[in-house]
Structure 1
Amino acid sequence: MYTLKIGVIGAGYWGPNLLRNFVEIPDADAIAVADLDEERLRFVKKRYPSLMVTQDYHDLFELGLDAVAIATPPSTHYAIARDCLEHGLHVLVEKPITLSSHDAEMLVELADQRNLTLMVGHTFAYNPAVRALKEIIDSGELGQVYYVDTVRVNLGLFQNQLNVLWDLAPHDISILRFILGAEPIAVGACGAACICSDIHDVAYLYLEFPDQVVAHSHISWLDPAKVRRITVVGSKKMLVYDDIEPLEKIRIYDKGIERLPHTDTFGDFQLNYRYGDIVIPNIRFTEPLRIECQDFIDSVVNHTPPVSDGNDGLQVVKILELADCSLQQGNGRLHLPEREVHGRDALHAN
């Protein structure tokens, strides 16, 4: 079997996690790491002595690599990814793919022209619990989905180049699109800049999906507790996914409200409140990033599209742009263009 030669660009917070997985996957051969920070390179070199390290990512183009993983600040994603694609390298780039839909479209077009894999690190699409959540929704066990509520808050990490929406919301937007299998038709956001006057550190994101499904996301760098939770309320049952919970990540609640047959009384509304059992499905856990990295390798070797491809990243950026416009201007609910609502290829959960 062919072993993919891979380089990692960016050795800050996330790059070493990518590197660790590529080192451990038999189908990959991690060759080199590039980062501007010499201290980070020394850290990587100490852990992986055989790696070539450099402060200039252009040096990687001389090593005969097949692919690169980019984990640099989002403002640099477009230029570095474009450079790598132009040098014939397959690219895995962290979220968000770029900070503008125009730049994302350029990368998608370039990858298509060169017949190269362009993949975005929407890691939760590879999370076994999130995949189980999607399967539960698709099975109809919850009934008609009424609404989804997500919370992604913690104390930090504050960013100075982008607001909390661009930092954290890509996770929730990609999860919502994935589990609902649809594109939002309207977007809105509000928030506050509590610490730095020009950078929002807390935001509330509203997404309206087809079939009257609404979703609400609370994201913040300014919260006393780390929370990563998704609640899905359906006509039959309800579900809570807690990513912080080490073992029992999903709980299905047989709870709901049912209308009773019409009566001729003048009493209260005739509703029946149902309180049933709580079911905790058994989910076999595998590190999502390991699955993501393997999907990238398989995509390159087998010439198949990855789960979170460039178009997936592009759609998330388009939604982020509208949400950010709403956040900055306070103009509320904005509609996505018709072609964006209906023009997406099939969402899949491979």
Structure 2
Amino acid sequence: MKRLKVAVVGFGVMGRNHAGVYAVLPHTDLVAVVDPSEERRAEAAQRFAVQTFPDVGAMLARLGGQLDAVSVAAPTSYHYPLTETLLKAGLHVLVEKPVATNVQHAERLVALSRRLGLTLQVGHITRFYQAVELLGKRITCPYLIEARRLTPNARIKDVGVILDLMIHDIDIVLGIVPGPITGVSVAGHVLNGDPHEDVAAAQITFQNGCIARFLASRVAPDAERTLVVAEPQQTLRVDFGKEPHTEVSVYRPIAEAQGRSEVRLDRVVVHEDNPLRRELEHFLARIRRSAPPIGTLDDDLRSLKLATQLIEQLKVQRYERGAVPVLA
């Protein structure tokens, strides 16, 4: 099997995680890290014995002909220009979600990767949770879905909570309910004084009647990552917040006893064997042409289109309400 030489652009929280996985994958050589911070570059060089560069241009000038693939884990606002540059340099790219901050840029990147015959993968890590795979196998006709993704940590500042957090659940739900959307509503608030929403609540109605509700916050007192999917014969509740495990609770109605309805509860504990590793292994397998994509670029675009539609609705609401601090 051919050894692949990879680099990581951005050495923050996610970049460190990407580098740590690449460093131990078989038939893979982590050879470079890019970050504007001298301190972070020094850390990367010490931890992984790699070459480091302050920007992508410097890396390409030195290593462009030697690299096969790059992970982009820089702030979201840099995803588009960095990914475009790397694709044009002939490199396969895994870019953290979202692929871009707007649909037009995302569509350009998709078209570019297809024209050049390069692998472009968007880092929707929840697709690689085994509990999400389990949902896909067990869910057939949901009528109500409720997703909550809350954190007290506003780590990402250059986009709002919809592109930061809610898009994870949007992507999961659109994978469960692939049909057309007939209704969208959203509300949100800016609480930290920056230009982006810190809290957002949305409701999506699908053509088949399914209703999906989303709540995302980065100013919550406690962290929560849950998904509830209701069907006529069962309700599944997924708790993603028990890492390294995901707990799936299955509620099923049983025959009424003495006029009272009863519910049978079964719990399944799913061991999540490093979803990021599974994601990066899949990316490298796609480069080697040994695996079909888990989720397509069209799926990525659909998730981004819905997320940006919600953001645009928030902007309209702020304009119509005047002083209400919904979105700057």
Q: Same fold (TM over 0.5)?
A: yes
* Map of 1:218 onto structure 2: 215
Q: Check 1:256–1:34 CA distance in 2 against 1; reply closer, same or farther (3 A cut).
A: farther
* Map of 1:133 onto structure 2: 135
CA-to-partner distance for each residue in 1:130-159, whole Å, 9 max, x for gaps? 111221114xxxxx3110001001112254
* Map of 1:44 onto structure 2: 44
Q: Check 1:77–1:240 CA distance in 2 against 1; reply closer, same or farther (3 A cut).
A: same
Number of residues paired by the alignment?
A: 312
What is the CA–CA distance in structure 1 between the aligned matches of 2:180 and 2:24, rounded to whole Å? 35
CA-to-partner distance for each residue in 1:180-218, whole Å, 9 max, x for gaps? 344534322111112216421100021222310010010
* Map of 1:240 onto structure 2: 237
Asked if 1:74 is matched to 2:76, the reply is: yes
Equivalent of 2:278 in 291, 294, 305: 291
Contact 2:282 / 2:291 at 8 angstroms: preserved in 1? no
Q: What are the equivalent positions in structure 2 for 1:106-145 lying under 5 Å apart? A: 106-138=108-140, 144-145=141-142
What is the CA–CA distance in structure 2 between the aligned matches of 1:240 and 1:9, rounded to whole Å? 36
Asked if 1:6 is matched to 2:9, the reply is: no
Q: Check 1:104–1:295 CA distance in 2 against 1; reply closer, same or farther (3 A cut).
A: same
Asked if 1:253 is matched to 2:254, the reply is: no
* Map of 1:17 onto structure 2: 17
Give, in angstroms, the shift of residue 285 of structure 1: 2.7
Q: Check 1:121–1:34 CA distance in 2 against 1; reply closer, same or farther (3 A cut).
A: same
* Map of 1:141 onto structure 2: none
CA-to-partner distance for each residue in 1:163-196, whole Å, 9 max, x for gaps? 1112111111111112334453432211111221
Give me the TM-score of the superposition, normalised by structure 2. Answer: 0.89
DSSP 3-state at the match of 1:302: coil
Asked if 1:94 is matched to 2:93, the reply is: no
* Map of 1:149 onto structure 2: 146
Contact 2:71 / 2:95 at 8 angstroms: preserved in 1? yes
What is the CA–CA distance in structure 2 between the aligned matches of 1:180 and 1:192, rounded to whole Å? 28
Runs (4+) of structure 1 exceeding 4 A deviation are none
* Map of 1:228 onto structure 2: 225
Bigger mean CA deviation after superposition, 84-93 or 203-212: 203-212
Unaligned runs of 5+ in 1: 139-143, 259-271, 332-350
CA-to-partner distance for each residue in 1:77-102, whole Å, 9 max, x for gaps? 11110000101000100011001111
RMSD: 2.0
Q: Check 1:284–1:248 CA distance in 2 against 1; reply closer, same or farther (3 A cut).
A: closer
Give, in angstroms, the shift of residue 255 of structure 1: 3.2
Q: What are the equivalent positions in structure 2 for 1:193-208 lying under 5 Å apart? A: 193-196=190-193, 198-208=195-205
Identity %: 29
* Map of 1:313 onto structure 2: 300
What is the CA–CA distance in structure 1 between the aligned matches of 2:293 and 2:215, rounded to whole Å? 29
Give, in angstroms, the shift of residue 281 of structure 1: 2.7
DSSP 3-state at the match of 2:2: coil
What is the CA–CA distance in structure 2 between the aligned matches of 1:240 and 1:256, rounded to whole Å? 18
